[in-house]
Amino acid sequence: MKFTKMQGCGNDYILIDEEKETVEEKEKGKIAKKLCDRHFGVGADGILYVKKLPREDKLSLERFSMEIYNMDGSKANMCGNGMRCVAAYVYKMGYLKEKRCNVICGGAVKGIEILKEEPLQIRVNMGKPELMAQKIPVLSASDFVINETIGDAFEVLRMTCVSMGNPHAVIYVESPTKELVERIGPKIAYGPRFPEHTNVEFVKVMDREHLTLRVWERGVGETLACGTGCCAALVASYINGLTERKVTVKLLGGKLCCEWDSEDANVYLTGPAKFVYEGEVKDY
């Protein structure tokens, strides 16, 4: 099976083109778990299965589907960095004749635009954020979880919860260290308040237009970047009165730009996507 290794701000993926490779649906999670292993496989945060879809009509944009499987074999609902990798891939392969397309993932349609080619800068319309607790989902006595205290065995933290197609708990800290992420991240991610588990963002507000962020992703662990996590951090920061509606987020793997549009209420994510290498696996 041939694959393409790609990354967006260090969030790396194995991309499988289903125009060229046939993969049974029931095998996708198992393949992801095996190939994403960084010691015995190719190594990645997850696998992206990509397929070209028919146009809805002659005037509509090109369409593609994207399925995401985490390195533990679980299926993910949404991924901003993965979206940009898919857009870069289909553009390079000639599947995309224009610089805009729609990608369908987790039942949601996301509009994507290639803004710049050298180096690639891609903008994704990540849609409207969800703040209702029961829809994120997060267990709470309130309709919204905004700056709400969450108890921990070591310290008391406050979180704001947002869904960007996947759940996020945004926590503000003085210093988002590796030790803090690894110690606290999984306790919150797999804690009783999140019935579907959650991603956890540890955020430091630098000023009203800049954030520093480290993330613990469900099904993966700490990653170098999380596109939906950056969008969630922007939304949380704005509603808590900490930033403007547009910020640059500094991550371990680079920088992403997020904007929460005041007119259409959609969140837009802009950043790079890069090809790492192509390969082929015989035993999967």
Please name the helix (run of DSSP H) or strand (run of DSSP E) that holds residue 30, with its range, or none.
Answer: helix 28-35
- What is the DSSP pairing of strand 221-223 with strand 246-251? unpaired
Amino acid at 157: L
C-alpha radius of gyration, the chain, whole number: 18
Q: Which residues of 191-212 are buried (b: 16+ CB within 10 A; e: fewer)?
A: bebbeebbbbbbbebeeeeebb
- Are 274 and 7 in contact by the 8 Å Cβ rule? The answer is yes
CA–CA gap between residue 283 and residue 258 (Å, rounded): 40
Sequence-distant (≥ 6) Cβ neighbours of residue 7 within 8 angstroms: 13, 81, 85, 253, 273, 274, 276
Selecting among 9, 105, 161, 226, the annotated active-site residue is 226
Selecting among 79, 101, 105, 161, the annotated active-site residue is 79
CA–CA gap between residue 240 and residue 226 (Å, rounded): 21
79 is catalytic: yes
101 is catalytic: no
- Residues marked active site are found at 79, 226
